[in-house]
Amino acid sequence: MTCGKRFMLGNHAIAQGFLEAGVSVAMGYPGTPSSEIMEYLIEKGEELGVYAEWSSNEKVALEGAYGAAMTGARAIATMKHVGLNVGMDPLMSSAYTGVEGGLAIVTADDPGMWSSQNEQDNRWVGLHAYIPVLEPYDPANAKELARIAIEFSEKMRHPVLFRTVTRVSHTRGPVDVCDGKPPVFGKGIDRTKKRFALVPANARKLKAELVGRWAKIEEEVEELPVTVEEGDPGLLVITSGSAFAYVMDSIKELEVSPTVINLSVPVPVQRKKVLDLATKASKIVVIEEGDPVVETQVKAALFDEGIKVPVLGKSNFVPPVGELSLDITNSVLAGAMSIEAPHRRGVNLGYEPPQRPPVFCPGCPHAASYYELKLASTTSRVKPLFSGDIGCYSLGINSPFDEEDVLTDMGSSLGVGMGIHRGTNGKSFVVSIIGDSTFFHSGLPALASAIYNKTPLLLIVLDNRTTAMTGGQPNPTQAIPIEEAVRGLGVRNVYSMDPFNVREAVNTMRNAIDAVKRGEPAVVVSKRACALEAARKLRREGVEPLIYSVVEDACKACGICYNMIACPAIQPKDDGRAWIDPNSCVGCSVCAQVCPYDAIKPSGNLDWIKRWGEAL
Amino acid sequence: MNIYMIGVGGQGLITTSNLIGAAATSRGVKALTSETHGLSQRGGSVDVHVRLGDVNSPLIPLGGADLVIAFELLEAFRAAPYINENTKIIVNSRLIRPPTPRLRLPRAEELINKLGAIRNVKIIDAFNAAVKLGNPIVENMVLLGAAHAAGLSSAIDEGAIIEAIRSTMRMPELNVRAFEVGINLVNNY
Ligand code: SF4
Ligand code: SF4
């Protein structure tokens, strides 16, 4: 086996660890900070013969990996932390039945909510579901632990959760990369045993077995790695995951030497290892990324053993909100030892720059759709309540659009939208806005419900042909025309539109609004490839570009282009006239269509727009 | 060594930090870089923490930067929490307007004067240097060169970075030239 050191992204290291463990089946749904794991497996797994796919949602991905592991294969499913909520149903069952091969479910948690709606700590799920959790502290460790996770799962014939966080997944560091193993596929399922058929009679038996297996797992995790830094036995610091990295740097900076133990398994805690050290300690500090998951278990273990020692942790001493940092671990350790933490604060540069919020990209088809939706609803004299969803288009909450009133979770535009309609006894005019990937993820069952229950609502599917938010992964829209899917579900009022044809788009939306006014559900599919993905692809293919520019004298400084579509390529000059940055414009033509003075003109080949329409 | 990089999505910060990481790794120097992902493609602020040497954790503590590379003039001010009196600072004089409609901004000269008043700051025009080289896209390599001359050189030699550019980038020669232009901008500052 040949190995070599490479500078590598944490998520790639995780994926590499799974390849080196002989994983044969990998399924996932994109979500920051998890997506690069599956991207790597799709790219690098191919030559090894690994089957890797983007599934339509996390439940489907988890079931796929679970099914593969039933047959004896080594399988993984990947998702972000909130994705695991969608996968909970099969997850709970997988603990009851166990697996024949290996099954690791990767959950990428996002403390600090860099790109998420919450910072749930999925290590709790391990306790809830009787599934052990492994947690790495840096990219190199992540690769090792990914391999160990699969091996442990296969040994115990039980699923494992692999919990990473943003600062492991999106940190790059040196990783020892070795050759991948040939993938281990399964042999099949023994039909005579019905082991995987959770009818109640079976499930009752399996619950008893599960409890027994969990006791075994509690013993066996003691064989999995812990890292101990010997120091003053009086102060014991217990860490898990990335907390270990911060604590090691803090100890160096503070020049202190407590005893530190890092647990690779936060659930169930490696109890014997902890208790060995705890008996010698007069104070224990537990530092972990997220909630007091380890702390709670450690306290229970101490209680069981009758050991009375103060325990500081997330529940009482470490800030419970947001992610850890060196500054936090410095002050936690210094506080626990009653010494001074270093005071460094930065400097005052005498100016507070304005925020730079994320915005729709230049030429983003969502921006055009939102502009058109606003125009259509105003001219149709409806005052919609906008029920939004998870994706780039959630930026429609910002001015000038202001067309996202509620958005809570994947697919909620329809479910919550129906609830708003019913909750107001039909008085709200609800427009649900969903993207293509989210539509296939969890919009379909909700739409079926709306149709069956005759809920009049307008559904706008912003079909940009890709899962753009997470970096442009493919999804079922590339194989299944959404209009046909919706017609198949029995919607009569189905419309297609191109957001880059402003006049027609507004008319189409008005027709759809009329249908809803008649009390029928209506669906508009607004189809145009993501500007980033399309422009990248067309440039690579050498398609002659198109950009737009403002004719100085013709511009009357009305501001419609830069205030209403808010394309970031268009900027107002000091006199209010528009200026288009030729380095940013991607030639969508929308500004030229909305300018009432015909002051915006193309240069280049108009064929660009047609090719864009066929790009994805 | 702690290097704090800040700029605007699309300016090539992550490419730059990857080069530093690859160059350090090739010389046996441990490197950890950590980026805020996700919404960065959409024109928001982006920062990358780069830590070199005997370190375990990925984030620079407050006041803990040895070197700051500000890819944009407004963003430079957001580095304030990481700066101490010995921090070497490279600032690109380019100002990119935030897309907020009707936003009023101070003039660029005013901002440059404010930054110029603090110690160890070098303000360079990396964008125009890149345009002069024939492609604004190599702005990031001009800044990397400037940072190298301003202090990165004590951790990683020039040759390691040039090797990393040659082995990972498209248009390697143009990027190497931009890197060298950046070095000269600081050496002749
Ligand atoms: S054509 Fe107009 S709206 Fe489209 S990207 Fe260019 S400047 Fe922006
Ligand atoms: S819409 Fe036309 S006239 Fe109005 S500011 Fe823009 S370019 Fe000028």
- Are B58 and A171 a contacting pair at CB < 8 A? yes
Residue of B nearest to A176 (CA): B25
Residues of B in contact with A395 (CB under 8 A): 42
Q: For residue range A105-132, what is the model confidence (pLDDT) as tens digits?
A: 999 999 999 888 999 999 999 999 999 9
Taking the centre of ligand 2 as the mean of its atom positions, its distance from the CA of residue B11, in whole angstroms, is: 28
**Distance (Å, whole) CA A537 – CA A543:** 9
Residue B3 pLDDT > 80, yes or no?
yes
Residues of A in contact with B38 (CB under 8 A): 32-33, 114-115
Q: How far, in Å, are A138, A180, B20 from residue A5 at the CA level? A: 15, 15, 15
- Report CA dihedral (A311, A317, A318, A319) to the nearest 10 degrees: 150
Residue A1 pLDDT > 80, yes or no?
no
- What's the rounded mean pLDDT across residues A517-533? 96
**Distance (Å, whole) CA A75 – CA A106:** 11
- What's the rounded mean pLDDT across residues A450-479? 93
Q: Name the band, by pLDDT with cuts 50, 70 and 90, for residue A2.
A: confident
Note the pLDDT of residue B114: 93
- Asked if A317 contacts A285 with a C-beta cutoff of 8 angstroms, the reply is yes
ipTM of the complex, rounded to two decimals: 0.95
Task: Flag whether B101 is in a domain.
Answer: no
Q: Name the band, by pLDDT with cuts 50, 70 and 90, for residue B37.
A: low
| The total number of structural domains that make up chain B | 1
Q: Name the band, by pLDDT with cuts 50, 70 and 90, for residue A302.
A: very high
Q: For residue range A54-100, what is the model confidence (pLDDT) as tens digits?
A: 999 999 999 999 999 999 999 999 999 999 999 999 999 999 999 99
**Distance (Å, whole) CA A581 – CA A91:** 50
Cβ–ligand 2 distance for A567 under 6 Å, the answer no
Q: Name the band, by pLDDT with cuts 50, 70 and 90, for residue B103.
A: confident
Q: For residue range A374-428, what is the model confidence (pLDDT) as tens digits?
A: 999 999 999 999 999 999 999 999 889 999 999 999 999 999 999 999 999 999 9
Residue B40 pLDDT > 70, yes or no?
no
CATH number at residue B37: 3.40.920.10
Q: Name the band, by pLDDT with cuts 50, 70 and 90, for residue B41.
A: low
The strand ranges marked E within A472-595 are 493-497, 522-527, 546-550, 570-572, 578-580
Residue A574 pLDDT > 90, yes or no?
no
- What's the rounded mean pLDDT across residues A223-252? 97
Note the pLDDT of residue A213: 98
Residue A165: closest CA among A274, A244, A67, A88: A244
Residue B39: which domain range? 2-94+107-187
- Select from A372, A562, A591, A609 the residue to mutate for testing ligand 1; criterion: most ligand atoms less than 8 Å from CB: A591
- What's the rounded mean pLDDT across residues A263-281? 97
Q: Name the band, by pLDDT with cuts 50, 70 and 90, for residue A509.
A: very high
Instruction: Give the least confident one: A477-481, B40-44, B116-120.
Output: B40-44
Residue A171 pLDDT > 80, yes or no?
yes
**Distance (Å, whole) CA B151 – CA A258:** 34
Share of chain A above pLDDT 90, in %: 94
Q: Nearest Cβ partner of A354 from B25, B59, B98?
A: B98
Q: What is the pTM of this model?
A: 0.94
Give the A window 478-517 contacts with B, CB below 8 Å. none
By the CB < 8 Å criterion, does B75 face chain A? yes
Bridge-based pairing of strands A102-109 and A232-240 is: unpaired
The full set of domains in chain A, from first to last, is 3-222 (3.40.50.970), 225-336 (3.40.50.920), 365-528 (3.40.50.970), 534-613 (3.30.70.20)
By three-state DSSP, how is residue A262 classified? strand
- Are A353 and B78 a contacting pair at CB < 8 A? yes
Residue A186: closest CA among A51, A8, A330, A16: A51
Q: How far is A171 from chain B (nearest CA, A)?
A: 4
Beta bridge partners of A161: A105, A133
Q: Name the band, by pLDDT with cuts 50, 70 and 90, for residue B99.
A: confident
Mean per-residue pLDDT of chain A: 96
Q: How far, in Å, are A395, A461, A464, B148 from residue A434 at the CA level? A: 12, 5, 11, 47
Burial of A527 (C-beta count, 10 Å sphere; 0-12/13-18/19+): buried
